[in-house]
Amino acid sequence: MKSADPEAKPDHRYLVVTELFLPTKGGTAVWFAEVFKRLGGKGIHIVTAKVDGDGAVDASHPNSIHRINLKRVWWLRPESLGMYLRLFFKTFALAMRQRFEAIHAIRSLPEGLVAWVVARLTRHPVVVYNHGEELTTWGDGAKYKAMRFTIQHADCVVANSEYTRDELIKMDIDPAKITLIYPGVDTDRFRPDLRCDDLRDRIGLQNGQFLILSVGRLSRRKGFDRVIQALPLLEKAGLDVHFALIGIGDDDHYLEEVVKERKVGSRVHMLGHVPEEDLPRWMNACDLFVMPNREIDGDNEGFGMVYIEAAACGKASVAGRAGGTGSAVLDGDTGLRVDGEDVDAVAEAIRQLLSDDALRERFACRAYERATEDFSWESVARKTAALGSSAETLGSE
């Protein structure tokens, strides 16, 4: 059995299929880039999409990166047909030329279905990753049925949280095939004690003023509107609180209207996209991380990597109760979870933690301890290597 210790740089051989990969933004893209570079070198082949700026990433990444055009074609029916075919032919060609330990697919569709077909044609085991929101938002039509078929026929199934695992079981996925692997965090990049006074000065923060921070795509389910709506309640409670929001998305104009409606323009700082090196510094600059997510039409937060990034910077969090955030934020231990629909509940959780320095510090210390011990990418890589061995066994049965 091969060593699974990333420190030993084992020469694992995986074929990885993922539309999402650096420099594309998002936690899922980061996950595969960080894990597989710790599990081997050029023997790991990654099939992914051509995107702007990919040359610099590919030149420095230790794995073999294969870029193909994965854009949808509007006049095809379905529009994604060309993408499926290009993914299939590239993946099949690589699988025919080499023997891999397993084929890893970042999602059930499109990557998982393509990986399953290739795996069956070339006698490789296949591992399919699941992130939560896709399980509850795709209805019960043809797309859902294709997703369910892919997951049911995979050799190994990865769930990113207990919530995702439970949703998979509801879909009649064999629990014995499901492995729980949380996303990770770069604990060298996200760490406490980074210089951040200039960031607080940049938004005009004064001594004695609190800063709460949110990071994420500007989407209604993230709960950023509830944080804005909570600010007048916090002021009424005697707390001088500012809110910094990092992210871009469709809800920017809506959130600006909420700011005007609640008359909190001087307290809300919509920062948009920030330089990559500044994100951990903003995590250090805040007093509390807040993202009170909620479910909207089945759309949920499957895990919430940003909570772990904040934890690695030594910050407690306020999260919503919906979805899989309970795996990222332990209620009453590393932060508080509340009903993300309830503005009063959001305000009270923020008030409780900002008003009690000892409680906030205790949660923050526990969050940091858990992030560094359980969520480092090295830890995730070790679990992934072990998963590869079990997939190989299952695929041969």
Residue 215 phi/psi, 5-degree rounding, is -140, 130
Topology (CATH) of 197-374: Rossmann fold (3.40.50)
Q: Which residues contact 393 (CB under 8 A, 6 or more apart)?
A: none
Q: Are 333 and 362 in contact (CB under 8 A)?
A: no
> 79 pLDDT band (50/70/90 cuts)?
low
Please answer whether residues 105 and 87 qualify as being in contact, where contact means their C-beta atoms are separated by less than 8 angstroms: no
Residues 6 or more apart whose CB falls under 8 angstroms from that of 96 comprise 122
> pLDDT tens digits, residue range 192-214?
999 999 999 999 999 999 999 99
Pick the CATH number of 6-184+376-395 from 3.80.10.10, 3.40.50.2000, 1.10.3210.10, 2.60.40.10: 3.40.50.2000
Helices 224-236 and 252-262 pack at an angle, to 10 degrees, of: 20
Q: What is 154-167 written as a DSSP string? A: -SEEEESSHHHHHH
| Cβ contacts of 139 within 8 Å, gap of 6 or more | none
| Residue 397 pLDDT | 47
Domain boundaries, the chain: 6-184+376-395, 197-374
The predicted model scores a pTM of 0.87
Check residue 389 and give its pLDDT. Answer: 54
Lowest mean pLDDT among 25-39, 105-119, 250-264, 345-359: 25-39
Is 50 exceeded by the pLDDT of residue 271?
yes
User: How does pLDDT run across 115-165, given as a tens digit for each residue?
Assistant: 999 999 999 999 999 998 788 777 778 889 999 999 999 999 999 999 999
- pLDDT-based confidence at 5, cuts 50/70/90? very low
DSSP 105: E
State how far the Cα of 154 lies from the Cα of 178, in Å rounded to an integer. 10
- Residue 46's DSSP bridge partners are 16, 65
Single-letter code of the amino acid located at 111? E
- Note the pLDDT of residue 72: 79
Whole-angstrom distance, CA of residue 111 vs CA of residue 187: 29
pLDDT of 367 > 70? The answer is: yes
Residue with the bigger pLDDT between 393 and 331: it is: 331
Q: What is the largest CA-CA distance in the chain?
A: 67
Residue 261 has pLDDT above 80, yes or no: yes
Hey, do 6-184+376-395 and 197-374 end up sharing a CATH topology, with the first three levels equal? yes
Closest CA relative to residue 269, chosen from 232, 247, 290, 242:
242
- Please report, in angstroms and rounded to a whole number, the separation of the first and last CA atoms in the chain: 17
